[in-house]
C-alpha cells in the first residue's frame, strides 16, 4: 500500500512515542490540543467538548460538506474518526475494516487494514454489528474486532504489531467497544450480556499485548478485584459482596458486560466505567441484587483493584445496562466545588457522584415520562420501584405494559457532551416505552439467553421517539428540550463557539445554540447518523466530521432486514417508519465553512 512520505514528515506526533511509559503523558498532552481528536470522546474526561470556535453560532449557518468517503460497508456505523496530525483513522462495522485517510488530500487512502474474521460471529452480536471506534497511543492504532481480537496496528503503515484474543465468540463473547489507553496499558471490555457472558474489563500491555489484569463484574473478590478497602456509598462492601447476591453459581453466567465507555482521572489515578444487565432478562430466574451488574466502577488502572462501586439498578428487571459514559467535570454541587462524575443511565436517571469517594449527590429523571421508579433514595442509593412496571413482580408469562423507558433506555451508548462554558450537559435521548413479558429460558453456551419478549413505542400522548436536551448536573434539572421524531442515537459535540452538534436517525447533522436549543443548521447526509460528531483543524481551518450509516439497536430492523414488531429485542416495531426517510450505507462526511 502506498504512503505519502510528505504526509509523515508533517506528523511529528509519532516521534514523541519513544517508549510505552510515555504514552499516557503524550496522550494527555495531545488531548489538550483541540486541533486534533486523539480519543473517541476527545479527552480522558469523556466531555466531548472542543475549545475550537472558528465555527460558531454566528457563522455555523454557512457550514457545508467539503468531502465525503464511502466505507463500502453497510450496517450501523457508531463511534467516530480519530484525527492525529494530518491523518484521519476510521473503522467500519463488521468486518471492521480500518482506513487511514490523508486529510491533505480529501481523504486519499494511505493504508487499509482488512481483518479476516469468521462470519459466524455475526449471529452472536447483539443489536447490530457495530464498532465504537479506535484508540491511539505509542505510534499504534488499537482495534477491538467483533471476534474479540485486540489488534495493535502500526499507525504509519497499518501493519499488525501484535494481536491477542480477549474472548470466545463460541460462548457469545464479542467485541464492539472502543479501547482506551491509560499509561502503558490498553483497556478493553466485552460484549455478550444476552448470551450469559460473565462481564470483564481487561488491561493489556501496549508494547506486546501481554495481559496485565482482568476484573470481572460478578464473582468472588479475587475475580472482581475487590479488597478490604473497596466501598459503596462510603461503606465497605464486605467480603464476597457479589456472591451473596446470586443464587448458587448463577454469577458465572451473570452478564454485567462492559461494552460501553471508559474514562480516566490522571490526578486521582482512577478509571471509571459501567457494567451492563444481568443475565437472563427474566428476573424471576435470578433472585437477589445480582451485584455487581448495573454498576459504576472506580478502579486503579495499575492493578485493576476497585476503590468504590455504586449499583444503580439492583436486580435489574428491564435491561437497563449501566454502560453509558462517565463524564468527569469539576462543578459546584449544592454550593460546593466537587470533583464530579456525571452519568446518564439507561434507567432514565441522571446521576452526579463525587468521583473521589463515590458519594451520591444528585439522582433525577432526565425524561419526565420515566415511570418504573418514583425516585432514587439518596440514603440507600436504591430506586423506589413501582411494582406495576416491574417485570417479574407478578411472575413469568405476564405482559407488563407501558413501562418507561424501554429497554434501550432514556439514553443508550450514544455519548452526551459537557460544556464548561455553561456547566450543562447536552444529551441525545430516547423517548420510548415498552411492554415486557418474561418467560423461562435455559442456558446453553453460545445461544441467546434472553427470556423476555418486548415491544416498543412512544410514551402515551406523544408522537416523538427522541429528544435532544440540555441538563444541569448540579441541580438535576432539564434546561431545554428539542423533540426529534426518532431517537437521537448520535454522540453529541459541544464547542467553544457556543454550538452543539448531533446527528439524527434520518441522517441530519444538526447544530443548535447551546444556551437556547435553537436550531442553527442542518444537512442531510446519505444515511442515518448513529456515529459521534468530532471536530479538528487543518491548515488553520476548523472542520466537523461524522460517520453516517443507519443501524444500531434503533435501526436494527433496517440493518438486519427484520420486520416483526417484537424482533430486534422489541425495537423493530417502534422504528418501522425510519425506512421512509433513510437507507443503509456507510459514509464519512467532512464539513467546513466556505473560503
Pairing of strands 349-354, 64-70: unpaired
Residue 395 gets the label, from left (phi > 0), alpha (psi -120 to 50) or beta, of left
Give phi and psi for 379, each to the nearest 5.
-85, -45
Helix (H) or strand (E) holding 6: helix 5-9
Per the listing, cell 460558531 goes with: 56
Is 154 one of the catalytic residues? no
Active-site residue, selected from the candidate residues 319, 321, 367, 482? 319
* Distance, C-alpha 404 to centroid of its chain: 21
Give phi and psi for 578, each to the nearest 5.
-60, -35
3-state class (DSSP) for residue 61: helix
State the cell numbers at 144: 477491538
Contact 494, 426 (CB under 8 A): yes
CA atoms within 13 A on the CB side of 8: 14
Helix (H) or strand (E) holding 328: strand 326-333
State the cell numbers at 244: 451473596
Kindly list the strands in the beta sheet with 433-438, ordered across the sheet, starting from the edge strand earlier in the chain.
400-403, 433-438, 452-457
Q: What is the CA radius of gyration of the chain?
A: 22
**Long-range contacts formed by 97-100: CB under 8 A, 24+ apart:** 97/71, 97/72, 97/73, 98/134, 98/141, 98/143, 98/153, 98/158, 99/69, 99/71, 100/141, 100/155, 100/158
Q: For residue 489, which of 421, 558, 592 has the smallest C-alpha distance?
A: 558
Going along 8-148, which residue ranges are E strands?
A: 49-50, 64-70, 82-84, 87-91, 98-102, 108-113, 135-137, 140-144
DSSP secondary structure, 416-457, as one string:
-EEETTTTEEEEEEE--EEEEEE------TTS----EEEEEE
Helix (H) or strand (E) holding 221: helix 221-224
Catalytic residues: 319
Amino acid at each position: 500500500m502506498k504512503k505519502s512520505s510528505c504526509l509523515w514528515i508533517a506528523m511529528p506526533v509519532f516521534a514523541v512515542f519513544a517508549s510505552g511509559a510515555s504514552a499516557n503523558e503524550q496522550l494527555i498532552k495531545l488531548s489538550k490540543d483541540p486541533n486534533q481528536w486523539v480519543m473517541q470522546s476527545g479527552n480522558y474526561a469523556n466531555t466531548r467538548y472542543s475549545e475550537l470556535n472558528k465555527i460558531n453560532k454566528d457563522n455555523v449557518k454557512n457550514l457545508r460538506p467539503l468531502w465525503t468517503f464511502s466505507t463500502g460497508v453497510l450496517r450501523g456505523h457508531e463511534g467516530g474518526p480519530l484525527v492525529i496530525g494530518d491523518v484521519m483513522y476510521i473503522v467500519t462495522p463488521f468486518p471492521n475494516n480500518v482506513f487511514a485517510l490523508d486529510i491533505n488530500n480529501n481523504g486519499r487512502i494511505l493504508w487499509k487494514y482488512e481483518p479476516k474474521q469468521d462470519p459466524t460471529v455475526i449471529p452472536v452480536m447483539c443489536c447490530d454489528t457495530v464498532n465504537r471506534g479506535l484508540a491511539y497511543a505509542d505510534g499504534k492504532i488499537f482495534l477491538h474486532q467483533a471476534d474479540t481480537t485486540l489488534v495493535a496496528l502500526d499507525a504509519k503503515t497499518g501493519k499488525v504489531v501484535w494481536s491477542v484474543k480477549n474472548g470466545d465468540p463460541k460462548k457469545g463473547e464479542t467485541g464492539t467497544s472502543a479501547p482506551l489507553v491509560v499509561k502503558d496499558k490498553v483497556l478493553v471490555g466485552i460484549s455478550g450480556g444476552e448470551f450469559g457472558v460473565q462481564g470483564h474489563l481487561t488491561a493489556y500491555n501496549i508494547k506486546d499485548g501481554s495481559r496485565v489484569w482482568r476484573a470481572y463484574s460478578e464473582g468472588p473478590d479475587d475475580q472482581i478485584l475487590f479488597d478490604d478497602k473497596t466501598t459503596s456509598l462510603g461503606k465497605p462492601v464486605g467480603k464476597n459482596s457479589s456472591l451473596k447476591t446470586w443464587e448458587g453459581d448463577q454469577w458465572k453466567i451473570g452478564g454485567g458486560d462492559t461494552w460501553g465507555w471508559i474514562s480516566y482521572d490522571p490526578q486521582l489515578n482512577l478509571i471509571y466505567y459501567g457494567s451492563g444487565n444481568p443475565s437472563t432478562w427474566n428476573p424471576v430466574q435470578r433472585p437477589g441484587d445480582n451485584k455487581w451488574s448495573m454498576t459504576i466502577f472506580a478502579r486503579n488502572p495499575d492493578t485493576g483493584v476497585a476503590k468504590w462501586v455504586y449499583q444503580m439498578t439492583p436486580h435489574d428487571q428491564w435491561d437497563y445496562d449501566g454502560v453509558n459514559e462517565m463524564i468527569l467535570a469539576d462543578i459546584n454541587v449544592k454550593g460546593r466545588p466537587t470533583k464530579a462524575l456525571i452519568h446518564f443511565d439507561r434507567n432514565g436517571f441522571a446521576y452526579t457522584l463525587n468521583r473521589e469517594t463515590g458519594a451520591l449527590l444528585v439522582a433525577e429523571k432526565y425524561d419526565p415520562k420515566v415511570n418504573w421508579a418514583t425516585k432514587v433514595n439518596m440514603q440507600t442509593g436504591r430506586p423506589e420501584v413501582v411494582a406495576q412496571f416491574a417485570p417479574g413482580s407478578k411472575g413469568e408469562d405476564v405482559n407488563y405494559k407501558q413501562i418507561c423507558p424501554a429497554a434501550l433506555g432514556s439514553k443508550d451508548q450514544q455519548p452526551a457532551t459537557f460544556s464548561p462554558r455553561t456547566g450543562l450537559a447536552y444529551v441525545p435521548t430516547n423517548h420510548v416505552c415498552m411492554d415486557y413479558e418474561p418467560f423461562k429460558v435455559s442456558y446453553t453456551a453460545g445461544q441467546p439467553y434472553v427470556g423476555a419478549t418486548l415491544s416498543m413505542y412512544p410514551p402515551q400522548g406523544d408522537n416523538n421517539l427522541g429528544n435532544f436536551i440540555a441538563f444541569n448536573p448540579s441541580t438535576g434539572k432539564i434546561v431545554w428540550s428539542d423533540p426529534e421524531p426518532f431517537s437521537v442515537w448520535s454522540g453529541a459535540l459541544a464547542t467553544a463557539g457556543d454550538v452543539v452538534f448531533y446527528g439524527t436517525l434520518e441522517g441530519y447533522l444538526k447544530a443548535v445554540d447551546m444556551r437556547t436549543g435553537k436550531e442553527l443548521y442542518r444537512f442531510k447526509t446519505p444515511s442515518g447518523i448513529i456515529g459521534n460528531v468530532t471536530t479538528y483543524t487543518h491548515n488553520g481551518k476548523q472542520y466537523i466530521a461524522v460517520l453516517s450509516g443507519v443501524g444500531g439497536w434503533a435501526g436494527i430492523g433496517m440493518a438486519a432486514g427484520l420486520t416483526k414488531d417484537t424482533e430486534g429485542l422489541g425495537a423493530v416495531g417502534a422504528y418501522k417508519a425510519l425506512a421512509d426517510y433513510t437507507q443503509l450505507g456507510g459514509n464519512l462526511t467532512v464539513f467546513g465553512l466556505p473560503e
